[in-house]
Structure 1
Amino acid sequence: MKKTILILLFIQFCGLFSAQTGDTIRMSRKEAESIFLANNLDLIAQKLEISQAEARVLQAKFWPNPTLSISEVNLWKTYDIEEQPALIGNWGQNFQISAEIEQVIQTAGKRRKNIELQKIEVDGEKYELQEVLRELKKTLRNTITEILYNQEQQKMYEGQISSIEKLTASYNNQLNLGNISKAEYVRLKAQEIDFKKKLISLRQEVEEQQVELKALLMFPAKTHIVISDSFTMPEKELSELELDQWIEKAKENRPDILITKNKEKSAQKNLELQNALKTPDLALSIGYDRGGNIMKDFIGLGISFDLPIFDRNKGNIQEAKLEIEKTKNETRKNILKSENEISSVFRNYVGTQQISHDIDASYEETLDNLLISHEKNFRLRNISMLEYMDFLDTYIGNKTIILDTKKELNQYYENLQYVVGQDL
């Protein structure tokens, strides 16, 4: 935790000076995820969406404001005016005014139903945050896997370039002495150039992945991130028996399913609100009239409401009913989609895991030792260039298969967590 905090502080510091210098930061997967959760602007923006929804709940709790109306104020008098009692001293005998306060009373539980609807919307925004987090975590983890994969490939090619450069330099000397043919030297030099070209291609891929990772972590452009973890395979053994459990867990945990279920609740509550809206609201009023009535200083009460003769909100009610059916279908579709995704990803993971079991733990070490042995024998001319090149191709191919298996297994495992909707 302390290391993560220090990294976060360093990021803020290097953000100030990134215009002058480029920085290399080493971090583990866990540290990258901690920084991602703290810094990612998409997550921050989605959290603000929740706050906005909560503000709408607060707004829904307020009653409509009362309306104050002042009218019939005269600025002059007519010749046949009926005098009124003075208001202040001798002033006000010819003054007329009418005032009214009106308060709308929502009927049929409209206010309560609207508050409940807005609370459901808050839950919806929370599920949206979970969905954004699920998508971004998958992107982050797969990007880190790609970076680790390319880091290992770079190490492999850098090692081969270092070795073959020494061999090429030695063969160049032998060529100048006339001890070997130019064809042998050219063959070796061509292999060196091919490796260097592949290394450049790998570095270009890493730059693309760096852009993705830095965008997720909100790092300065000149920062270079190195993932310090070893590139290993997931240790979790998966069983066919767990498949049904994951399918059930997905129904409870997958944000896209929770979102559509929440939309069902929202549609149901909206139908209740639309049914309530066909009942007219009441407007209660109290008014005061001075000089405009047969009674002096008249105070009266009033009530008003719409007569539901033409508009009984039938169209909106019908639309709300159809929305319920639509959201139910969306939920069923997402559940079926999750079942298919989980089954497919599980089979891919198990199939790749079986290949990984065929790779002995010491196999990589054996390959490395054999390569050293072949390089030594080739340098001593105990084996031909054809034999050396043939083994070099075999070595690169096998190392690539091992790295591909590690990458695929990590990606399938992350995809499995993604389709289940939780970390396994």
Structure 2
Amino acid sequence: MKKHILIVLYIHVFGFFSAQVSDTITISRKEAEAVFLANNLDLIAQKLEISQAEARTVQAKFWPNPTLSISEVNLWKTYDIEAQPALIGNWGKSSQVAVEIEQVIQTAGKRRKNIELAKIDVDGEQYELQEVLRELKKILRNTVTEILYNQEQQKIYQGQIASIEKLTKSYNNQLSLGNISKAEYVRLKAQEIEFKKKLISLHQEIQEQQMELKALLILPAKKYIVISDPFTMPEKDLSELEVDQWTEKAKENRPDILMAKNQEKYAQKNLELQNAMKTPDVTVSMNYDRGGNIMKDFVGVGVAVDLPIFDRNKGNIQEAKLEIEKTKIETRKNMLKSENEISSVFKNYIKTKEISHDIDDAYESTLDGLLISHEKNFRLRNIGMLEYMDFLDTYIGNKMIILDTKKELNQYYENLQYVVGQDL
């Protein structure tokens, strides 16, 4: 039964890698971002929305089309009428026709105000693109961090599996010779299986992260991505003195705040338009009437205008005023949100940074050296199984603490850039 379990583990763990060698893509953080900016479909779709808004601006510049009306045309012969000259060939001597052309002229600057609203809408779509980019960059960078984190875990467990397999093989030989107890062999074998099970679990996590990253980079499902960067802590030092500066930057750069401010401008301009709507538009017309008046060929002009007696657009004006108040509240809310987010994320970053000060390259190197020493002494039977296993647990635990600290620092640093609204 144990042999069957081990065979399954080998198939999953090592077959997983061999199946992907030909489809592996090795890429750095910087290269991943370049591919993301060029290929991401969400960004491309949002850019098309900007183009659509620009097209609406072009459309808003056009005057309404004139209206041409042809009426009073009799399709049958009419008797007892005054003689009239033919219109086309011999046709038209007994026919009547009226032609009218009308043009609506917008008053109170309605056309100009609609153009300005369309331009504000273009700005809004551009801020929306920035917001989509901000959200997706955060997801991309954190996904890359997660992959790097799990790649490092893989190295740890693969190294331990390679080492413990040698020990297990040696102990199996010693068990056959009767030099050790079966309990010692089983304990070592159990640890080997536990490491392999953890490695399989890591593969499952990586597959989810791979799926997320390939969706962002628009890569085929069969590809397997390896991040080439070393897994390090953020190099830039951040100071609490910069928090106020970041808060001001956020008010100027965060897309959600810019979108809220843009909505304020839109609401204000819409109020101007609704006030202008109180003034009725004017329709001017020119008409020609053949055979329907005391004149054989009558040409006249006319003007039409609505009388603003009942509808003075009061409801829409009141709604526009309330919309201005609402957008001001939304802007204020987003500003307060940004202040709280910057303060909270920075505090988490600093607390994690304090832990990282106790971790340096010398400490990690010392840890690796002690593991080699314990493995050697265990093979030479200078230390017992219990002492070796205790140190192995300590080693794995400390390695995970180091990796967790690096991951959290990278994530908090990226979250800080996200809440500030620009790269620091």
Shift of 1:39: 0.4
C-alpha separation in 1, matches of 2:290 and 2:330: 63
Change (3 A) 1:76 1:226: same
Report the counterpart of residue 276 of structure 1 in structure 2. 276
CA distance in 2, matches of 1:408, 1:63: 58
Distance 1:192 1:148 in 2: 24
The runs of 5 or more residues in structure 1 that have no matched partner are 1-19
In structure 1, give the amino acid aligned to 2:130: Q
Partners of 1:32 and 1:270 lie apart in 2 by 42
**Aligned partner of residue 59 in structure 1, secondary structure:** helix
Moved more, 138-147 or 363-372: 363-372
After TM superposition, list the pairs within 5 Å mapping 1:104-115 onto structure 2.
Answer: 104-115=104-115
The DSSP-based 3-state class of the residue aligned with 1:278 is coil
Asked if 2 retains the 8 angstrom alpha-carbon contact of 1:278 and 1:313, the reply is yes
1:335 Cα deviation after fit: 0.2
List aligned pairs for 1:4-43, cutoff 5 A.
23-43=23-43
In the alignment, the residues of structure 2 paired with residue 23 and residue 206 of structure 1 have an alpha-carbon distance, to the nearest angstrom, of 16
TM-score between both structures, scaled by the size of structure 1? 0.94
Which residue does the alignment assign to 2:3? none
Partner of 2:250: 250
For 2:241 and 2:294, the matched residues in 1 are separated by 89
> One-letter code of the match for 2:65?
N
The DSSP-based 3-state class of the residue aligned with 1:214 is helix
SS at match of 1:195: helix
Is the Cα contact below 8 Å between 1:22 and 1:222 reproduced in 2?
no
Counterpart of 2:334, as a letter, is: N
Equivalent in the alignment of 1:173:
173
What one-letter code is carried by the residue in structure 2 that aligns with 1:187?
R
Change (3 A) 1:84 1:373: same
Question: After the TM superposition, which residues 93-242 of structure 1 pair with which residues of structure 2 at under 5 Å, given as runs?
Answer: 93-242=93-242
Aligned sequence identity (%): 84
Looking at structure 2, the residues matched to 200 and 247 of structure 1 have their Cα atoms a distance apart, in angstroms, of: 44
1:60-90 CA-partner distances (Å, limit 9, x unpaired):
0000000000001112233322222333565
Match of 2:356 in 1: 356
Match of 2:336 in 1: 336
CA distance in 2, matches of 1:260, 1:157: 49
**Partner Cα distance (2:358, 2:21) in 1:** 46
Q: Contact 1:102–1:285 (CA<8 Å) still a contact in 2?
A: yes
Do the aligned residues in 1 keep the contact of 2:70 with 2:97 (CA within 8 Å)?
Answer: yes
Shift of 1:95: 2.1
Q: 1-side partners of 2:135 and 2:370: how far apart?
A: 43
Question: What's the secondary structure of 1:209's corresponding residue?
Answer: helix
SS at match of 1:247: helix
CA apart distance, 1:92: 2.8
Structure 2 Cα separation of the partners of residues 88 and 170 of structure 1: 113
CA offset at residue 357 of structure 1? 1.0
Pairwise CA distance, 1:326: 0.6
Match of 1:144, SS state, is helix
Change in CA separation of 1:79 and 1:227 when aligned onto 2, cut-off 3 Å: same
- The aligned runs of 1:325-404 (5 Å cut-off) are 325-404=325-404
**What's 1:17 paired with?**
none
Q: Distance in 2 between matches of 1:79 and 1:132?
A: 74
Letter in 1 for 2:200: I
Cα deviation for residue 312 of structure 1 reads 1.1
Task: Report SS of the residue matched to 2:357.
Answer: helix
Q: Structure 2: how far apart are the matches of 1:309 and 1:231?
A: 74
CA distance in structure 2 between the partners assigned to 1:21 and 1:272 by the alignment: 64
SS at match of 1:98: strand
Q: Per-residue displacement from partner, 1:18-46 (whole Å, max 9, x unpaired)? A: xx996100000000000000000000000
- Give the count of matched residue pairs: 405
Alpha-carbon contact 2:84-2:93 (below 8 Å) kept: yes
Q: CA deviation at 1:111?
A: 0.3
Tell me if the contact between 1:22 and 1:224 (Cα under 8 Å) persists in the aligned partners: no
The runs of at least 4 aligned residues of structure 1 exceeding 6 Å deviation read none
| Residue identity in the other structure for 2:185 | Y
Give me the CA root mean square deviation.
1.2
Shift of residue 362, structure 1, vs aligned partner: 1.1
* 1:58 correspondence with 2:58: yes
Q: Distance in 1 between matches of 2:131 and 2:113?
A: 27
Residues of 1 paired with 2:76 and 2:258: CA distance? Answer: 68
Distance change in 2, residues 1:179/1:91 (3 Å): closer
The whole-number CA distance in structure 2 between the counterparts of 1:414 and 1:222 is: 29
Which AA in structure 2 matches 1:247? T
Alignment CA distance shift 1:358-1:294 (3 Å): same
- Return 38-47 or 310-319, whichever deviates more: 310-319
1:315 Cα shift? 0.9
Determine the structure 2 residue equivalent to 1:46: 46
Structure 2 counterpart of 1:292: 292
In structure 1, what is the equivalent of residue 423 of structure 2?
Answer: 423
Q: Distance in 1 between matches of 2:21 and 2:294?
A: 88
Unaligned runs of 5+ in 2: 1-19
Q: In 1, distance between residues paired with 2:125 and 2:296?
A: 58
SS for the counterpart of 1:36 is helix
Is contact 1:21-1:222 (8 Å) kept?
A: no
